[in-house]
Amino acid sequence: MAAGTMIELTDLAGLIDTTDALEMAEGYQKVFIVNGGNMVVADFVNTKIATANIGSNPPDFGTILTGGTSGAEMIVDYITTLTGACTIYGYNTTDVAFTTETVTGTDDDGNAISFTTSGAEDAPPHGYLWTTFGGSTDFGALPDKAYLVCLFNGRIVLSGNTYSPHQWYMSRQGNPWDWAYIANDAQSPVAGGDDDPGEIGDIIRALIPFDTDRLIIGCANSIMQMRGDPMSGGVLGTLDSNVGVFSSRSWCFDGDGNLYFWGTGGIYKCTKSGGVLNRPELLTAVTLPNIIDDEGADPSTHRITMGYDRKRLGIIISVTLLSSGSNSCYWYDLRTNGLFSESYPAVCGAYSIYNYAATDPDYSGLLMGCGDGYIRIHVDSAKDDDTGATDTAINSYCTLPIKNLGQEEDSEGRLVSLTITTAGGASSGTFGDTDGLSYELHAADDAETCLEDIIDGATARESGTVSGTGRKNKIRKRVRARALGIKLYNSTASQTWAVDEILGEVKKAGKL
């Protein structure tokens, strides 16, 4: 993993409690952030102007304002108050900027708007508190607390209110500043229980927009789905009553739109066929049946995040201990459907994972937000993990499937030679060459004992190293047993390794 750099949006300094859980959603060229009782907006599109007195007729959402001197025009998006000193955020549709001048317009009711700006406009980005339009109760109120947020069907959706953990809330369609739950049109704000879809009888842990017409609501012990808009005949139903979702970011989509998540019994996959969302399929039922007990993750102490790596065609599942950054991770390879265990240095423990689809491919890829404040990416050419001031060697290993050396059920075999072919091209070729690697040979009367010895780090029957590329000389190691296990590994700094082929010569050795 390699480290990157970040800049701070200083307008938001002090408005967020980084010791508390934080979630964000992108929409309308802004980022909406919920942090318990703190709710803020990072605005990347709107120009900001200010006035000491907004006048008797404040602008409405969507009002067009014009600068009397500059001729600049903006479409009003949000204002901080309806009276007195006010800050106005809106999209400047012209090539000129507002100055210290009189600004005029006409509101929705035909009332004349006029106020004087306090200075020149400020270009985006901006950060500010997230309230209703003008901070007015005429537009309802956001919940007192929220830890979950997403964008679905043009609405900002909130949940995770500790005072009402079963409840969900939706803004007006196309307007994130209107939360007045008055069902007077098809775009009205709505909350659970205010219309046909009701509250959920389980604690909500995740909001997952599956597609434009389907919102998955992951709960502690069940999964619900909202089909359609709740103010236009939308239906809230049960997808699975026995499977829950771990937390707000313990899920991701692959390149085909399939949903993966960490749930009650392990890692699950949800697919859609013929417009119908299929029930979750447990991927770890055979390969890692005890993954939940083995990890022992708890939402209060652990962060589980998942991310799709489109360059390497797989999914990273990261289980990180919040207090230290120590982690246990898995790579799910979509090409082989194989699960591979991995971990990172504690400073590289992932607290968030985001698949950034930049227009420039050099900046596109899977971003991992780490506990030390860095955002890291995977770099194929890097041979060590970037842990800040120094790099950390990568300890990589592979255990081959256990082989039965005996030709019959109760017989043994004798390994008399082993030939390893390492990867790499000619000395003057363009292909990358492997570094050296070590090997261990473990033997036992049965496959389970052999594998347990490898996992527990028991002393190998035979061991050694190979270096260089290509077919190596035969290794004359004589091992007699019924079951043979081969472990290959390298933990040396600035080295990587790969193997093309391993051949062994085995002879009969008699009864077990």
Q: Is residue 130 included in any domain, yes or no?
A: no
Answer yes or no: do 432 and 450 share one domain. yes
Answer yes or no: do 289 and 332 share one domain. yes
Secondary structure letter of residue 395 according to DSSP: -
Domain boundary among 331, 360, 392: 392
Domain boundary among 123, 146, 181: 123
Answer yes or no: do 250 and 387 share one domain. yes
Sheet arrangement for strand 281-282: 251-253, 259-263, 266-270, 281-282
- Give residue 410's pLDDT: 80
Report if pTM > 0.85.
yes
- Give residue 389's pLDDT: 77
For 144, half-sphere exposure in the C-beta direction (CA atoms, 13 angstrom radius) is: 4
Q: Is residue 240 included in any domain, yes or no?
A: no
Q: Is residue 212 included in any domain, yes or no?
A: no
Which parts of 283-340 fold into alpha helices (H)? 291-295
CA distance 154 to 142: 17
Cβ neighbours of residue 261 closer than 8 Å, sequence gap 6 or more? 206, 208, 218, 245, 246, 250, 251, 252, 267, 268, 270, 280, 306
- Give residue 3's pLDDT: 55
Secondary structure letter of residue 139 according to DSSP: G
Answer yes or no: do 382 and 294 share one domain. yes
What is the tally of structural domains in the chain? 3
Sign of the alpha-carbon dihedral angle for 359, 361, 363, 367 = positive
Task: Count Cβ atoms within 10 A of the Cβ of residue 95 and give its class: 0-12 exposed, 13-18 middle, 19 or more buried.
Answer: exposed
Answer yes or no: do 266 and 348 share one domain. yes
Answer yes or no: do 456 and 482 share one domain. yes
Parent domain of 415: 397-511
- Give residue 372's pLDDT: 87
Tens digits of per-residue pLDDT, 442-478? 999 999 999 999 999 999 999 999 988 888 888 888 8
Secondary structure letter of residue 480 according to DSSP: E
In this structure, how many other beta carbons lie within 10 angstroms of the beta carbon of residue 42? 19
**Residue ranges of the chain with per-residue pLDDT less than 70:** 1-6, 194-198, 425-431, 512
CB 457 within 8 A of CB 399: no
- Give residue 428's pLDDT: 60
Answer yes or no: do 289 and 359 share one domain. yes
CA distance 304 to 351: 8
- Give residue 190's pLDDT: 94
- Give residue 361's pLDDT: 82
CA distance 98 to 104: 12
